[in-house]
Amino acid sequence: MAARSAKSPRRRAKQERAHATLDAILEAAARVLVREGYAGATTNRIAEVAGVSVGTLYQYFAHKNDVFDALIRRETLASQRVLDAERPDPREALGVTLRRVFVGLAAVQPLGPDLYRQLEHVPNALLRRRVTQGKRHVLAFLRTLLDAHRAELRVNDLDLAALVILHATEGITMGASKELFGERMADELTTLFTRYLLKI
């Protein structure tokens, strides 16, 4: 029974009360992280904001960073569900698919780039791997989508194009979230990438 991530949830919630507590802790962790940064996100502070004691926090998480690991898992799982719901269809215009994905991804991240930016500051190899896996998932989706439209593309190296789209999107959503968001964000990203990708 090889101990994979053996002790992550020390205690598994069996009662209603426990589930509420766990949610409160995760909610508090996200809020504290966004408002006070990683440096301010101490275990005692998170517990305080969650309205519980530190001891309670440590009944559900073995280490401080396990809390943030759970947050990352939550975020990436939501994003993966959006991508998995998409079935690349060559008959739908590439721009339409892309735009829908952008809107969908933005919708499942309530705290948006603010939380994500802070999560990137969490020092932990496990966390970094989870982020990397999330990116590989997006990359695979993009690669499939581009393949479905190969004939219409003016780019040659589809892997390179997927890489460019992924990271350009990340940079723009992270950096320009104050000036650009929602539908306009999706529009501009779609414009940028369709011009980059499509012939004519």
191 makes contact with a second copy (CB under 8 A): yes
CB closer to DNA, 65 vs 177: 65
Of 19, 53, 140, 171, the one binding a second copy (CB under 8 A) is 171
168 makes contact with a second copy (CB under 8 A): yes
Provide the CB-side half-sphere exposure for 54 (13 A, CA).
7
Of 30, 49, 52, 145, the one binding DNA (CB under 7 A) is 52
What is the smallest separation between the CB atom of 194 and a second copy, expressed in angstroms?
9
Q: Tell me the site size for a second copy, rule CB under 8 A.
A: 26
> Could you say which DSSP state residue 198 is in?
B
* Measured distance CA(13)–CA(144) in Å, rounded: 39
- 163 makes contact, choosing from a second copy, DNA, none, with CB < 5 to 8 Å by partner type, with a second copy
14 makes contact with DNA (CB under 7 A): yes
Q: What letter represents residue 7's amino acid?
A: K
* Bridge partners, 153 (sequence order): 198
Question: Rounded to 5 degrees, what angle do the CA atoms 112, 114, 116 make?
Answer: 75
The crossing angle, in degrees rounded to 10, of helices 125-148 and 64-84 is 10
Footprint of DNA (CB under 7 A): 11-18, 20-21, 40-44, 51-56, 58-59, 62-65
